[in-house]
Every structure is written in C-alpha cells, then in structure tokens.
Structure 1
C-alpha cells in the first residue's frame, strides 16, 4: 500500500518535477546524485574499476556498496518524515546522496573521490537552489519600512516571516507561507517577510538569530497593535529555538488563522461602509481580499529594496 501511495504521489507531482529538471540546479544535482551509479555501470569503464565481489564482476555493486546504499535509503526516509514540501523531500535525497557518493568514490579510488568532492564544492559555491517565485499576497519589508508599516494601523494584525535566502529551511517554508497568504490575507490580517540575512541589524532588534546553530530560521512573528504577541519557534532561556515543524497545519492552529480571518472580514466590512475617512491606509484592493472566496490571481507581491 505504501508503494502504491508513493507512486500515486509521484505521478501527481510529475509535471512539477519535470519543471524542476529544466532548472540548472536540479539538473546538476541529479547527475551528481547518480554519478557513482553511472560510473559503476558504464560500459568500457566499469571493467577497469576495483571490486570486492567474489565473482570479480566490477560492473556490479559489491556487498559494502550495497550496505552504504541501504544505509543512505534509511537516512533519507528518516529525514523525510519531517519534510513538509516535495522540494524538501527532493533536497534531502540530493544532499545525502552526494554524501554517500563521496564515501563510495573515495572507497573505489581516491582520485575519483577527490575529483567528485571538488565538483561538489564547486557546485555548492556556484549554483544556488531556485527561490520560490509563485503567487503570494506578501509585503516585503526593509530595515527602514518594517517599523513604520507595523505601527501604521493598530487594527491590522501582521504575520511576519524572518528569513534568509541561504537557509534551506526558509526556502522549504516559502511556498507554505505563500499559500497561507493567498488563503488568509485580508484588510485586517496581512502577511509580511523580511530578509534578516540582508538586514542584519533587524536580527538584534527583533531577537532572531541568524546563526545556523540556533535553528531560529525561519521565525514567524505575530504582531497585533504593532506589538509582538507570539512567535514560532519559541526561544528558551539559553537562546536556543524550541523544535517546531513549519507546516500549514501547525501555522493555522498555533496562530489561530481561522479566527483572525473571521475578525478581519468584519473589519473589512466596516471599512467598506465608512470608506477612506475612517482609515485611508486601507485601500479598496485590501477590502476585496476578505470575500468568502479567495481571488484566483494575487495582486500584491511587493519587495522593498
């Protein structure tokens, strides 16, 4: 049953996977992932490779290589239990496959191991994973605009993600946060993002560490009446982030998004009746976001530079 479910999931996401393979990052990652398999099975090359098989067949895996590949499969399955997006599943597969390939190549021939390791280093330094560029209702803040925007209207609730482009966890969470903004963005409930990897002074101002050891990236903060009322992940007394899974279900439950959205719809109706005299900052486009059905085409995707 698990195999059938996995196959159905793969077929469902096949068009999306096909688009990924057209991007240089995923093309190179794929070939680095299957590099040892290609070398071990390549006609004309595999005959000259070392092997520990009793039959001397150097074009097939020996028992130690099979053991390493089985261990790789177990590690990927364990890591993917906490993966929240298909991109994160594929990323875990690519990452641990490269580690396994390094071990396999060094075990096969130290020269091949050095060559493969050098290719991996060059890949990491020159090729970055593509950023999420899908539809969203998100306001992008800079260090000069975030305080002003949060304090502009005390009736607006802001959900702000503090992220860094170099963080793989932030990249995995990006489509989830974008999807939530499409579903819940309203005149009284807005979504924002700020790149603290770019604006480092904001990390101290809002208490979000950019160190990979603290596991505080991404951090999602809830602002009501211009003040922070909660954040995830929470931070203990030693400044370490409490483990928390950034998926859609947890976001909706912990931040009470359904309740906040219902309150925001009431605010939008009041603004729609009283007009701009009550609150000129909430324009007509904001009021339209609070209908019972979300619009298909997002109209807000601003980035402050």
Structure 2
C-alpha cells in the first residue's frame, strides 16, 4: 500500500519533479543515486566486475546486493512516513541511496568505493540545495533588528522561525512557513525569520541550539508584546528537543493560528493598526515582499 501511495504521489507531482531535475543540485544527486545500478548494468564494464552469483553473471545483481537494495527501499519508506513536503521525500531517497551506494561500491571494489566516497564528500562541500525563493510575507531579521522589531508594537503578534541554511530540515520547511505567511499574515499577526547559523548571538539569546544533535532546527517561537509565549519543538530539562512534526496542520493547531488571525484583524480595525502588508496580496505589496526575500537570501 505504501508503494502504491508513493507511486501515485510521484506521478501527481511529476511536473514539479521535472523542474527540479533541471537544477544542478538535483541532476548531480540523481546521477549519484543511480551510479551503482548503472555501473553494474553497463555493457563493456559489468563483464569485468566481481560477482557472487552462482551462474557467474557479473552484469546482474547478486543476492547480497538485492538484499541491500531492498533494505534501502524499506528505510526510505519508513523515513518518508514523517516527511512533510515532496522535497523531503526526494531528499530522503537521495540521502539513503548514496549511503547504500557507498556500501555497495566498497563491497564490489575498494577502489570504486574510495572514488565514490570522495565524490560524495566533494558533492557535500560544493553543491548546496537551492533555497526557496517563492512568494512569502516574511520579515528577515538580523542580530541587530530582531529585538527592536519584536518590541516595536506590543499589539503585534510575531511567529518567528529560527533556522540555519545548512539544515536540510529548515530548507524543507521553508515552503510550508511561506505558505502560512501568505494565508495568515495581517497587520496584527506577522511572520519573521532569523538565520541563527549566521547570527550565533541570537541563538544564545533565545536559547535555540544550532547543534545537529539537539534537533532544535527549525524552531518556531510565538512572541506577544516582545515576550516569548511558546515554542515548538519544546526543549526538555537536558536541552534536547521533544520530537514534533513541522507540518501545516500541527502549526495551525498548536499556535491557534485561526484564533490569532481573527483577533489580530479585529485589533487592527479597532485601533487603526497599520502594517506593511495586508493578508490579501496586492501588486505593490507582493513586489516589496519578493524584494525583501531576495535581498535577504542573497546575503546568506
């Protein structure tokens, strides 16, 4: 059933996948993902490879390789059960396929294993996944502007994402947070982001760890009157993040976005609160938002 669902999801999103594969990051990832099957099946090359098959056919997978590939499929399906976006589904496939390829190449020939592992290291160091550059109503903070903006008007509620560009979870969450900002942004309810991978002092000030082991990236904090009201994921007494799924439904429910949005709209009308953006997109506002987004991400 999981396989059928995966195939249906792939076919439904195929136009988006096709566009992604035109980008260098995804082209390189795809080639590295299929590297071992291509080498094992390539005419003129596979005849010279070692094999443990009883029939001696070195151009087909042996039983151990089939076992590793089946285990890879099971791991990818398990990880994708918690995936939120299509980027995460494809990212999990690329990641665990590369790990499996390293094992398969080392098992086949240590020279091929070293070569493939070296290519993986070079890929990680030189090729980064593309940043989300779609529409959003999000204010990007720096270490000098975040405190001032959060405390500027006590009537404004802020939902701020603390993220790092190197975090794959943050990159996958970007379109989800952007979509929420388009739906719920108004003068009294604003959305912001701060790159704590770049501004280390901010991470210390707001107690959000950038360590991959802490699993606090991304973190969403709700501010009212400049004071933190809640955050997700929560952090236990040992400084470890409590597991929490960053999907749109969970965020709307946990942060009471529908209620906050209605209160913010009433507050804006009652007190004449004016913000940079209204919830309904207008040409001039959209241009300002896109310009702000582009400038912020160019600097990062």
TM range (shorter): over 0.9
- Structure 1 Cα separation of the partners of residues 225 and 268 of structure 2: 16
The answer to whether the 8 Å contact 2:2/2:77 transfers is no
295-304 or 249-258, larger mean C-alpha shift: 295-304
Check if 1:205 corresponds to 2:205.
yes
The DSSP-based 3-state class of the residue aligned with 1:213 is coil
Deviation at 1:2, TM superposition (A): 5.0
**Which residue in the other structure is 2:281 paired with?**
295
Q: How does 1:111-260 map to 2 (within 5 A)?
A: 111-260=111-260
- Structure 1 Cα separation of the partners of residues 162 and 238 of structure 2: 20
- Kindly provide the CA deviation profile for residues 40-59 of structure 1, in whole angstroms up to 9, marking residues without a partner as x: 00001111111111111110
Deviation at 1:5, TM superposition (A): 3.7
Change (3 A) 1:74 1:5: closer
- Kindly provide the CA deviation profile for residues 243-297 of structure 1, in whole angstroms up to 9, marking residues without a partner as x: 11111011000000000011111123225xx4xxxx5xx24x53x32xxxx4376
- Kindly provide the CA deviation profile for residues 154-186 of structure 1, in whole angstroms up to 9, marking residues without a partner as x: 110000000000011111111110010010001
The DSSP-based 3-state class of the residue aligned with 2:213 is helix
The DSSP-based 3-state class of the residue aligned with 1:212 is coil
**Which residue in the other structure is 2:13 paired with?**
13
**Which residue in the other structure is 1:61 paired with?**
61
**Which residue in the other structure is 2:42 paired with?**
42
The DSSP-based 3-state class of the residue aligned with 2:135 is coil
**Which residue in the other structure is 2:110 paired with?**
110
- Structure 1 Cα separation of the partners of residues 19 and 139 of structure 2: 27
Q: Which runs of 5+ in 2 are unaligned?
A: none
- Structure 1 Cα separation of the partners of residues 228 and 155 of structure 2: 14
Deviation at 1:207, TM superposition (A): 0.5
- Structure 2 Cα separation of the partners of residues 208 and 2 of structure 1: 35
Q: Which runs of 5+ in 1 are unaligned?
A: none
- Kindly provide the CA deviation profile for residues 94-129 of structure 1, in whole angstroms up to 9, marking residues without a partner as x: 000000000100111111111111111110110011
- Structure 2 Cα separation of the partners of residues 258 and 205 of structure 1: 29
TM-score, normalised via structure 2 length = 0.93
- Structure 1 Cα separation of the partners of residues 249 and 170 of structure 2: 17
- Structure 2 Cα separation of the partners of residues 104 and 296 of structure 1: 54
- Structure 1 Cα separation of the partners of residues 267 and 123 of structure 2: 50
Deviation at 1:9, TM superposition (A): 1.9
- Structure 1 Cα separation of the partners of residues 180 and 24 of structure 2: 29
The DSSP-based 3-state class of the residue aligned with 1:238 is coil
Provide the aligned C-alpha RMSD in A: 1.5
- Structure 1 Cα separation of the partners of residues 282 and 41 of structure 2: 48
- Structure 1 Cα separation of the partners of residues 221 and 202 of structure 2: 13
TM-score, normalised via structure 1 length = 0.92
- Kindly provide the CA deviation profile for residues 49-85 of structure 1, in whole angstroms up to 9, marking residues without a partner as x: 1111111111000000000000101111111111100
